[in-house]
Structure 1
Amino acid sequence: MASSHFLATYNSKVIFCVFVLLWSACEGLIKLPKNVTVPAVFAFGDSIVDQGNNNDMPTVARANFMPYGKDFEGGVSTGRFGNGKTPPDMLAEELGITELIPAYLDPNLKLEDLKKGVSFASGGCGYDPETAKLVSAISLSDQVKLFKEYIGKLKAAVGEAETHYILTNSFYMVVAGSDDLINTYFPLGLQLVYNLNSYSDLMVSSASSFIQEIYKLGARRIAVFSLPPVGCVPSQRTLAGGGYRMCVEKYNRAAQLVNSKLSSECKSLAKKLPKSRVVYIDIYEPLLDLIQRPQNYGFEVADRGCCGTGLIEVIILCNKFSETCPDDTKYVFWDSYHPSEKAYKVLLNQVIQKYVNSFF
């Protein structure tokens, strides 16, 4: 009997380990080169990497209420714009730094959090300064101010030398641009002021200035994420995709134009800024493939979100009165704008496999 119990326990452990290996390479830790360390992860940009900075802001772009955070530890609505963990959390975990990256404005922030990284991002922010103003979000220029404030706190706590070490060896995520197109340029009729070529130039010029600002403050490993296929997110399909809710191709073409310029600018900055690793990260094609072929990744639904009807519910429209789908792991999108935790995992795994060596 004891032998049978041992075998049953052993077999179950083997099966579990095989599953973990297949899903996350036994915790999925990124194997860093010898003598290379990454002490922290920092995030700047919009709601994709906002960990709760908007919670106490006078803005509609908040997510600190149910059902946001439904699958988070303890089912807590932290202000993350999703059902669970988000890309900064996942990257920090893959690097073996920590399980969660907090918002810099979290009132419960501790010294250990400061040393392992924080997010300065704000839902509703864009490269165009006017985008943040529309929803009273924290602009990129104000996120830089918060970063400077953070550096001051870190120096006071751990000294100049360790602060320099943390800043120059950490990972920096820059995620913005989507809100510029679908909250500012197209709905506000800016086509009358800028043609798309000139507006995309404005966006990329702003992105370049921002990257150079954080470089001056110590950032070296900077991952600049492309715009996604914004015309295929559920809310835009509902609002501008016609009766059949097709992907809005003019929105996607606009995103591709910005991406081509952003990619070129990142290459230029990587050459211009000494000892930098400014890497353009394409998530447009991986997410589009997820949307077009969800079954290849274990999903069933890609044209609507899990929250409510999934057609339009996002931020305050996705609330405690909104029913949610029975199984959000079958959905590419959590609400009508933000991917689900599972989709983030799939995308991040692809990004790591393709780009991680570019930073060392």
Structure 2
Amino acid sequence: MNNLFFFMFVYVDLILSTAQAIVKLPNNVTIPGVFMFGDSIVDTGNNNNLTTLVKSNFLPYGRDFMGGLPTGRFGNGKVPSDLIVEDLGIKELLPAYLDPCLQAEDLPTGVNFASGGAGFDPLTSKLMLVIPLSEQLQLLKEYIEKLKKYVGEERASSIISNSLFVVAAGSDDIVNTYYHTPARFWKYDIYAYTDLMLTEASAFVQKLYTLGARRIGVISVPPIGCIPAQRTLGGGPERKCVERYNEAAELFNKKLSAELDCLNSHQFHATVAVFMDVYGPFLDIIHNPKKYGFEVINRGCCGTGIIEVAAFCNQCSPNTCKNATNYVFWDSYHPSERAYRIITHQVLHKSIQAFFHSQNK
């Protein structure tokens, strides 16, 4: 691809992204805010002041972000949390709740509670020394009290019931905790372990409902066997996708989708919780990269791209690519902004209408 054609492609892609940025909602329906929970895929800086290695508040992270600043986002630019609020026309970025610069006026349109390294399995967060989902829920409770003081109880209730709550977790449970922790691997087979994950995921969704959430999206586990780090560690000399990891992700996703349907039918009695599939769209990019304008799928832009992530992806990492646009992955674990943008657009456009199929209680 010559340079002129490449830059024309990128320019057209950005124009199309901007033109499709506002997701069409049903008439007379609004989504006032977005609230995010989960792991590093959606964290926008909550880990910055934690004592953990799971951080990204240093260059080259954020290299292509607004002003080229590292903010704690695990990527070269925006992450799905930002892209969702952008697509919905709410605001440009979704701030981390623990950001010391968070302003009161940010509260009504949503904040981010996600913590890189967190998982549905409580052990996952404990091993990584990050904020578990149980504490993310406590932060939400704290947020609700602040919101009531800022906008009043009636408006706060309306914001919570009409906003979008999104949960993205599970990847770290499978690739880190299950396959690399004897306490889990020797105690459970993968069927039992995904049941444990499912129990925790279901309980979390139900607790969100108890706190007033009525539009809850749960993002599936992506094809984690195809991320560069797992190709390196388990893909053999040719660094192929690790099929047992992908099969574990698919197994959990099937269980999760069925559980959300069950909750909607028997407990919520309305379409409250929506399964948001990223597995399929992500795998399509891996199998058909040229269709999306990507050239590199099996390594990240940072350093060698085969193992560097978090603290190991830094300004001293040799051979970091100059332009991440044609890379599916930014580091050995996290997609590039452009890959995030394509997947987020597809998933949100496909799933958003499901939140309005029935009158939620």
TM-score under structure 1 normalisation? Answer: 0.93
Alignment pair present for 1:273 and 2:284? no
| Structure 2 residue 293 is matched with structure 1 residue 298 | yes
- Compute the displacement of 1:22 (Å): 6.0
Check the 8 A contact 1:221/1:359 in 2, yes or no: yes
Q: Match of 2:5? A: none
Q: Go from structure 1 to structure 2 and tell me whether the alpha carbon gap of 1:331 and 1:240 turns closer, same or farther (over 3 Å shift).
A: same
- Counterpart AA for 1:182: V
Alignment match, 2:281: 286
**Aligned mate of 1:41, from 29, 34, 59:** 34
The alignment yields a C-alpha RMSD, in angstroms, of: 1.6
Q: Which residue of 2 aligns with 1:172?
A: 165
Aligned pair 1:213/2:207, yes or no?
A: yes
Task: Write out per-residue CA displacement over residues 319-359 of structure 1, whole angstroms, 9 at most, x where no aligned residue.
Answer: 11124212100000000000000001110111123112111
Note the 1:1-360 alignment, pairs <5 A.
19=12, 23-24=16-17, 26=19, 28-189=21-182, 190-271=184-265, 272-323=267-318, 324-360=320-356
Higher mean C-alpha displacement, 310-319 vs 24-33? 24-33
Distance 2:17 2:47 in 1: 31
- Taking the aligned partners of 1:243 and 1:358, their CA distance within structure 2 comes to 43
Residue identity opposite 1:289 in structure 2: D
Structure 2 counterpart of 1:26, one-letter code: A
8 A contact 1:220–1:275 mirrored in 2: no
Three-state SS of the structure 2 residue aligned to 1:332 is strand
**Residues matched between the structures, number:** 345
Does the aligned pair in 1 maintain the 2:166–2:217 contact within 8 Å? Answer: yes
Kindly provide the amino acid, as one letter, of the partner of residue 243 in structure 1.
P
CA distance in structure 2 between the aligned counterparts of 1:200 and 1:303, rounded to whole angstroms: 26
> Residues 300 and 327 of structure 2 are in contact (CA less than 8 Å); yes or no, is this contact kept in structure 1?
yes
Specify the code of the residue in structure 1 equivalent to 2:325. T
Confirm or deny: 8 A CA contact 2:271 2:354 kept in the other structure: no
Residues 331 and 340, structure 1, Cα contact 8 Å, conserved in 2: yes
SS at match of 2:165: strand
CA-to-aligned-CA distance 1:30-65 (integer Å, 9 cap, x gap) = 122221110101100000111100000001001100
2:299 is paired with a residue whose SS is: strand
Moved over 4 A (4+): 18-22
Is contact 1:29–1:95 with CA below 8 Å preserved after alignment?
yes
Structure 1, unaligned runs of 5 or more:
1-14
Say if 1:300 and 1:331, in contact at 8 Å, map to a contact too. Answer: yes
Q: Secondary structure in 2 aligned to 1:115? A: helix
User: How far 1:102 sits from its partner (Å)?
Assistant: 0.3
Aligned-residue identity in percent: 55
TM-score normalised according to structure 2 size = 0.93
CA shift, 1:89, in A, is 0.7
Instruction: Give distance in 2, aligned partners of 1:32 and 1:306.
Output: 36
Q: Distance in 2 between matches of 1:226 and 1:240?
A: 22
| Deviation (angstroms), 1:25 | 5.7
SS for the counterpart of 1:29 is coil
8 A Cα contact 1:20 1:26, kept in partner: no
- Aligned counterparts of 2:69 and 2:12: Cα–Cα separation in 1: 27
Secondary structure of the corresponding residue to residue 279 of structure 1? strand
Gap runs ≥5 in structure 2 = 1-7, 357-361
- CA distances 1:89-128 after superposition (whole Å, capped 9, x unpaired): 1111111110000000000111121111111000010000
Contact between 2:42 and 2:79, CA under 8 Å: does it hold in 1? yes
Relative to structure 1, the CA distance from residue 326 to residue 20 in structure 2 (aligned partners, 3 Å threshold; closer, same or farther) is closer
Q: For each residue in 1:175-206, what CA deviation from the matched residue of structure 2 results, as whole angstroms up to 9, or x when unmatched?
A: 00000011100011333100111111000000
Query: 2:82 touches 2:93 (CA, 8 Å); kept in 1?
Result: yes
Q: Cα 1:127–1:187, aligned 2, differ >3 Å: closer, same or farther?
A: same
Q: What is the distance in 2 between the residues matched to 1:113 and 1:48?
A: 21
Rate the CA distance shift 1:314–1:193 in 2: closer, same or farther, 3 A: same
